[in-house]
Chain A
Amino acid sequence: MLGYALVTLYPLYWLFISAFKTNQEFYEHPFALPQAWAFSNFKRAWELSDMGRAMVNSSIVTFTAIILTLFLGALTAYVLSRFSFRLRGPLTGLFVVGMLIPIHSTLVPLFIMMKNVGILNTYWALILPYACFELPVAIFVIAAYMSTIPKEIEEAAIVDGVGYWGIFLRMMLPLTLPALSTVAILGFLRYWNDFAFALVFINKQSLKTIPLSLSIFSDGFGTDYALTMSAMAMSVLPTIIVFLIFQEQIMKGMVAGAVKG
């Protein structure tokens, strides 16, 4: 059991030790610890892969998309979970269906549509699809949480003359903070790691996100192994740190999102 866990972790361990090796050492002693820890790899990898630029792009796209997901998801979840109206059932169904759609089948039409609207090769070409494809999971997780909040709170607020927007912004949002943070963390992992959308919708060097700048190492440029390994090690650090801090929440959230998918 512990053995299996260690085998699972081995590729990661290997990634991190290899990141500190020289190319020759990597080639000759793939298993051994580095003889001299070459921290300079990271500096060189950072510069050559333009990792700084990629980190900035990934951060902009990820955080804007998270905010959009949270706002749209919470607002929709609020309406779908707390109000009864005729179209509630069909609309909920429409959002659930989204979890079943294979994203790759939407790449071509999205590419063409965004090209026509003129947002291809902008941050929005990633932010909008990310937020939209994450909406079903976001709505599902947030609505489930909102339905546990007692209705009396809202009724009291309405008697006090607070409008629906006031209830949403000043009561529901703060009260659903745990669900919102789960959605935010899941969104962070998805957006930060996404490859397919970035591959198709972004061609401009200056807009490349981290997975995209790493992917150039897969076709032929990848002969500088130490460099590739260092670039990868740097790129996975943020997600590993987020995972170590929020693991329970991530595990629960991913399973909740996945069960419906």
Chain B
Amino acid sequence: MISTMHFKRFITLALLPSLLLYAFFVIVPVFWSMYYGFFEWKGIGPLKYVGLENFSEVISDPIFWRALKNNLIIVAASILGQVPIALVLALLLRKSSLLHRFIRSAVFMPMVLSTVVVGLIWGYIYHPQFGLVNTVLEHIGLGSWKRAWLSDRSANMYAVSVPIIWNFIGPYLIMFIAAIQNIPSEIEDACKIDGTRPFQKLFYVTLPMIRGTINVVIVMCIAGSLKAFDQVFIMTGGGPAQSTELLATYMYNNTFNVYRYGYGSAVSTAIVVISGGLIAISQLVFRNKAE
């Protein structure tokens, strides 16, 4: 038999490498980021302690608020775009026939592409001269709607939201399909016996039964949209004139383009606080509804 001493030694030795690496690369940086927020620093030279100056600058910085607003546009676009599309497709894709499997794979496919490729392809799709969007508008006689989608400030936030919706619908679709398949077949039978009409069944049976999954998906939309960075960074870099700036691109540009490490760190901290707050709020809403 193996002694307690062996037991303890094994647990320690087995956990130590991953714990150390994980703490060093994931946990510590979050706190370190808060710490750097208290300094003014150009990346080289001495750190200058400035107290809460960076944080108060974040709060009074109009571009920070615009970035947050842009992130919230993406949150809204995800919730209003991804959830309904994924839900409708899931309701229609219940069989595991060849056609249904093909559609599921097709919708999931963008998920496996590099976000850089997604950004570049859509950059071309929106291209003012030869982009697909403008060419299609021309062909269907809506030539007057043509514009430079990514530089027109009235349209570019919506334009950059579309690829993000396109990119991430797949997982939600699969989650909804799984949830619908989990509805007990007795309920299905009961509906048949009662002669429930399809629409009644949808609103009184199916949707309430998968409400938990819908809530989880909405939480994921919120968390995912606050992390949005790659596609927008590739398509516009946050421009023109910071009109498509997101929290993450703003943090990146402050730190690695204008070398304001302290300010960038304060923005980072704000991102952590905001995502934590939004996730907590959505969890509360989720719990209350579940009860």
Contact = CB atoms under 8 A, between A and B. Distances in A.
Per DSSP, are chain A's interface residues mostly helix, strand or loop, or mixed? helix
Contact of B255 (A108, A218, A242, A252): A108
Given A8-B166, A85-B11, A109 B265 contact: yes
Contact of B276 (A73, A100, A109, A214): A100
Nearest to B8: A85
B25 A215 contact: no
A132 B25 contact: yes
B193 interface: no
Interface in B267-285: 268-269, 271-272, 275-276, 279
Given A83-B7, A85-B11, A132 B2 contact: no
Contacts of A251: 104, 108, 170-171, 174
B105 interface: yes
A95 B120 contact: no
Given A103-B227, A255-B171, A247 B114 contact: no
B84 to A, nearest CB: 12
B123 A75 contact: no
B171 A258 contact: yes
A231 to B, nearest CB: 9
B196 interface: no
A200 B229 CA distance: 13
Interface stretch (A41-49, A144-152, A173-181, A188-196): A188-196
A109 B108 contact: no
A8 B203 CA distance: 28
B63 interface: no
Contacts of A244: 105
A193 B115 contact: yes
B164 to A, nearest CB: 13
Contact of B107 (A8, A106, A108): A8
Given A101-B30, A195-B114, A109 B36 contact: yes
Interface of A: 1-2, 4-6, 8-9, 11-12, 14-15, 18, 26-27, 30-31, 72-73, 75-76, 78-79, 83, 85, 91, 94-95, 97-98, 100-110, 112-113, 128-129, 131-133, 135, 158-159, 163-165, 168, 189, 192-193, 195-196, 200, 210-212, 214-215, 217-219, 222, 225, 228-229, 232, 235-236, 239-240, 242-244, 247, 250-252, 254-255, 258-259, 261
